[in-house]
Structure 1
Amino acid sequence: MPLPRLLMVVTGDDFGYCPRRNQGIVDCFLAGGISNVSLLVNASAAKEAADLAGRHKIPIGLHANLSEGTPVYQHLQQISTLVNPQGFFHGKMGFRQALEKGQLSMNQVELELRAQVRRFIELTGHLPHHMDGHQHVHVLPDVREVFAQVLSDVRIPFTRVPIEPGLHNCPWVPAHLHTFYMEVEKDALDSIPVFKHYGIRWPDVYLGLSTMGQNMSVSSLQRALKQALGTRTSSTISRRAPDLHQPVITAELMVHPGYPSHPDEGGCGEGPDDFSQSTEREHELNMLRSPSVLELYCQEGVQLCGFRDL
């Protein structure tokens, strides 16, 4: 059998957020739509999610969370730079604002990250196969150094570097999200030397920002795959398939499948957010397991895998 043109990890983020998210992710995995999950260990249904991953042999990593809900490390839950007066993390933008103002203790960030790794091991019985950041906090200034040090110390080999090829030319992405994505990309670019220094690895290509929610379609996924297949890096050259005379490229596609959360069920302590309660996640679920998308993978020479297969 010829080697694939693209080895792709399709990661279902926010595993553990609520029972309906868990069920949607499992349904998607069993249908062949995803090949990997990323667990929020401080989420309300994290234990159920870990048990489901074990039961169905789903490759699982850690979705490190510093922005939503409450800390895992008990001493940081009351008075710390990471939480507001109500004891919750500062939020996606609040975390970034506090970081810019120099108000966050990197020692406390490290304590929380290590506590989340320990909780992951308690829930699953093994180290994460990879570790990324909820809402991309792991590539932020200062945080990325702490994050890389923790990964290196506990020997987690893979992370996510959210730099999506072609993202600059996606007019369907709303302006406010595009601005945020460009900031994420800048932070991710600045993270590369840090991750390299600590020996952390990541796939050749990252995809998923341009295909989130209602933007996921056969055409948008096809566009993303063509962008990925046009990538050439030093690592792909070393994986050149002798019978095809072309490189084998690795990629991660970030996705968010699930069924809509009930208003009073789920989240990381404050209840589910609007995106979780919307139909957009179910749209992703239906697209990912549709015959059209699975056929697209066959046509483009895409083989789904987990991080541990890279």
Structure 2
Amino acid sequence: MPKATVKLIVTGDDFGYCPRRNQGIVECFLAGAVSNVSLLVNGSAVSDAVQLAKRYSIPMGLHANLSEGSPVCPSLKETSSLLNDKGFFHGKMGIRTALAEGLLNMSEVKQELTAQVELFRELAGHLPHHMDGHQHVHVLPEIRHIFAQVLKDYGITYTRIPIEPDLPRCDWIDPPLMAFYQGVEKDSLNTVAVFRKHSIRWPDIYIGLSTMGKNMSVTNIRGAIDNATTSYLAKVGDSSTLPSSSVSPDQETRTVTIELMTHPGYPSIPPVGGCGEGPDDFSQSWERQHELETLKNTELQNHYKTQNIELCAFKDLGL
């Protein structure tokens, strides 16, 4: 089995959601616990987030949002297939239902994704270093094709494919949540060929479903990284199983890239926060601060050092 040098991207999602989420993510970045962030351009605290990113040189990608809050494209704000009867996006499960029922107009999906990339560029002064989907909307049927085309049009090289190697063995995850995760993984598996066709890349390994919220612990993160790396290296000879970023399997030492998706922060306090309709239960939960404290834990930081795990950002991976 080849030896590995591990580059770990710890992404703080939902940057811009509320000032308390921003505060927690920046605190993690300055502590060396988060190395990359994903920005919600329709978040209520997006301006604050961008200012903080510029002040502290925080690498940012775009957390494309089609499921929560309000669109940023002016022509879609009042009448659109993307909106429910209250004038907001359909929600995490609602967008999946609307899509399954054939109610979404894909041209409007492209309009909104394009508008979000343009707004990101206007705010940040550069294109996103990567682009993923809030609540994993980017791997949904039909949407995945539009998402891939937008990335190709803008030359955005990297995305996220949420397929977690050890997920089937994570018996601590509540059954309803596990059912949702399994749906995300099924959609992701069906997305791989689409993204490859458009020359889009992603890290070799994704972790984050099994370590979200109350399920995050130093032990779970360490185990997920170590087990996934070992499993990946064992498969290195079968090129059909590997992501697009993989290189020749005959190297004695190879670089393995991992993205750890996280949601640290301090809990939102209504009515402040959200993407146009106030903060949701997820953002108000104590689990946000639990993730913050776990990621900053010195035991986890020491594990990275002793195992020669290098924290980096998508922009450090090159083209």
Give the TM-score, by structure 1 length: 0.96
Please name the residue that 2:10 is paired with.
10
Which stretch of the first structure deviates more once superposed, 273-282 or 92-101? 273-282
Equivalent residue of 2:93, what SS?
A: helix
Q: 1:301 deviation in Å?
A: 2.2
- 1:28-60: CA deviation from partner (whole Å, max 9, x where unpaired): 000000100000000100011011111100000
Please name the residue that 1:192 is paired with.
192
User: Which runs of structure 2 are paired with 1:154-303 in the superposition (5 Å)?
Assistant: 154-230=154-230, 231-232=232-233, 233=236, 234=239, 235-238=245-248, 245-303=252-310
Asked whether the 8 Å contact 1:228–1:251 carries over to 2, the reply is no
Once residues 130 and 118 of structure 1 are traced to their aligned partners in structure 2, the CA distance between those partners, rounded to angstroms, is: 14
Q: 1:246 deviation in Å?
A: 2.9
Equivalent residue of 1:251, what SS?
A: strand
Asked whether the 8 Å contact 1:129–1:156 carries over to 2, the reply is yes
C-alpha change, 1:197 and 1:237, in structure 2 (3 Å) is: closer
C-alpha change, 1:56 and 1:166, in structure 2 (3 Å) is: same
Please name the residue that 1:39 is paired with.
39
Asked whether the 8 Å contact 1:208–1:254 carries over to 2, the reply is yes
Please name the residue that 2:56 is paired with.
56
* Amino acid corresponding to residue 103 of structure 1 in structure 2: L
Q: 1:240 deviation in Å?
A: 7.8
| Structure 1 spans left out of the alignment, 5+ residues | none
Asked whether the 8 Å contact 2:10–2:260 carries over to 1, the reply is yes
Equivalent residue of 1:107, what SS?
A: helix
Asked whether the 8 Å contact 2:212–2:262 carries over to 1, the reply is yes
Once residues 86 and 122 of structure 2 are traced to their aligned partners in structure 1, the CA distance between those partners, rounded to angstroms, is: 27
Asked whether the 8 Å contact 1:236–1:247 carries over to 2, the reply is no
Please name the residue that 1:91 is paired with.
91
Once residues 314 and 250 of structure 2 are traced to their aligned partners in structure 1, the CA distance between those partners, rounded to angstroms, is: 19
Please name the residue that 1:305 is paired with.
312
Superposition misfits of 4+ residues, deviation over 3 angstroms: 232-241
Once residues 148 and 156 of structure 1 are traced to their aligned partners in structure 2, the CA distance between those partners, rounded to angstroms, is: 9
C-alpha change, 1:236 and 1:144, in structure 2 (3 Å) is: closer
Once residues 132 and 66 of structure 1 are traced to their aligned partners in structure 2, the CA distance between those partners, rounded to angstroms, is: 11
Asked whether the 8 Å contact 2:4–2:253 carries over to 1, the reply is no
Q: How many residues align?
A: 305
Asked whether the 8 Å contact 1:4–1:301 carries over to 2, the reply is no
Asked whether the 8 Å contact 2:18–2:268 carries over to 1, the reply is yes
Once residues 153 and 289 of structure 1 are traced to their aligned partners in structure 2, the CA distance between those partners, rounded to angstroms, is: 37
Please name the residue that 2:78 is paired with.
78
Please name the residue that 1:141 is paired with.
141
* Amino acid corresponding to residue 76 of structure 1 in structure 2: L
Q: 1:25 deviation in Å?
A: 0.3
Once residues 133 and 149 of structure 1 are traced to their aligned partners in structure 2, the CA distance between those partners, rounded to angstroms, is: 14
- 1:61-113: CA deviation from partner (whole Å, max 9, x where unpaired): 00000000000001111111000122100000000000000000000000000
Q: 1:237 deviation in Å?
A: 4.4
Once residues 35 and 271 of structure 1 are traced to their aligned partners in structure 2, the CA distance between those partners, rounded to angstroms, is: 27
Q: 1:227 deviation in Å?
A: 2.3
Once residues 65 and 240 of structure 1 are traced to their aligned partners in structure 2, the CA distance between those partners, rounded to angstroms, is: 40
Asked whether the 8 Å contact 1:5–1:229 carries over to 2, the reply is no
* Amino acid corresponding to residue 248 of structure 1 in structure 2: T
